[in-house]
Amino acid sequence: MTAGEQVKTTYREAMRAAIREALQRDDRVFLMGEDVGRYGGCFAVSLGLLEEFGPERIRDTPLSESAFVGAGIGAAMAGMRPIVEIMTVNFSLLALDQIINNAATLLHMSGGQCNVPLVIRMTTGAGRQVAAQHSHSLEGWYTHIPGIKILAPATLEDARGMLWTALQDPDPVLIFEHGGLYNMQGMLAADAGPVEIRSAAIRREGTDVSLITYGGTLGKTLSAADQLAADGISAEVIDLRSLRPLDDATIMASVGRTHRAVIVDEGWRTGSLSAEVSARITEQAFYDLDAPVERVCSAEVPMPYPRHLEEAALPQAEGIMAAARRAVG
Q: Give residue-wise pLDDT tens across range 51-107.
A: 999 999 999 999 999 999 999 999 999 999 999 999 999 999 999 999 999 999 999
What confidence category does residue 130 fall into, taking pLDDT thresholds of 50, 70 and 90?
A: confident
* Catalytic-role residue among 134, 136, 178, 259: 134
Active site residue 65: yes
186 — pLDDT class (breaks 50, 70, 90): very high
Cα–Cα distance between 225 and 215 in angstroms, integer? 16
Give the pLDDT mean for 180-184.
97
Q: CATH for 201-328? A: 3.40.50.920
134 has catalytic annotation: yes
Residue-range domain boundaries for the chain? 6-189, 201-328
Class of domain 6-189: alpha beta
Q: φ and ψ at 175, to 5 degrees?
A: -110, 120
Q: What is the DSSP letter of 105?
A: T
At 203, the pLDDT band (50, 70, 90 cuts) reads: very high
Q: Report the C-alpha dihedral over residues 136, 160, 184, 144, rounded to 10 degrees.
A: 20
Separation of alpha carbons 72 and 94, rounded Å:
15
Q: Please, which pLDDT band fits residue 3 given cuts at 50, 70 and 90?
A: low
Kindly indicate the confidence band of residue 129, based on its pLDDT and cuts at 50, 70 and 90: confident
If you average pLDDT over residues 24-34, what whole number do you get? 98
172 — pLDDT class (breaks 50, 70, 90): very high
**Omega cis (within 30) before 245:** yes
* More confident call, 135 vs 142: 142
The reply to whether 6-189 and 201-328 are identical in fold is yes
In eight-state DSSP terms, residue 45 is: T
30 DSSP β-pair partners: 82
Selecting among 65, 85, 236, 276, the annotated active-site residue is 65
Residue 2 is predicted with a pLDDT of: 60
Pairing of strands 235-239, 209-213: parallel
- Give the whole-angstrom CA distance, residue 139 versus residue 122: 10
* C-alpha to C-alpha distances, 144 to 136, 147, 167, 242, 275, nearest whole angstrom: 17, 10, 22, 13, 12
- Residue pair 319/304 in contact (Cβ under 8 Å)? The answer is no
Bridge partners, residue 86, by sequence:
122
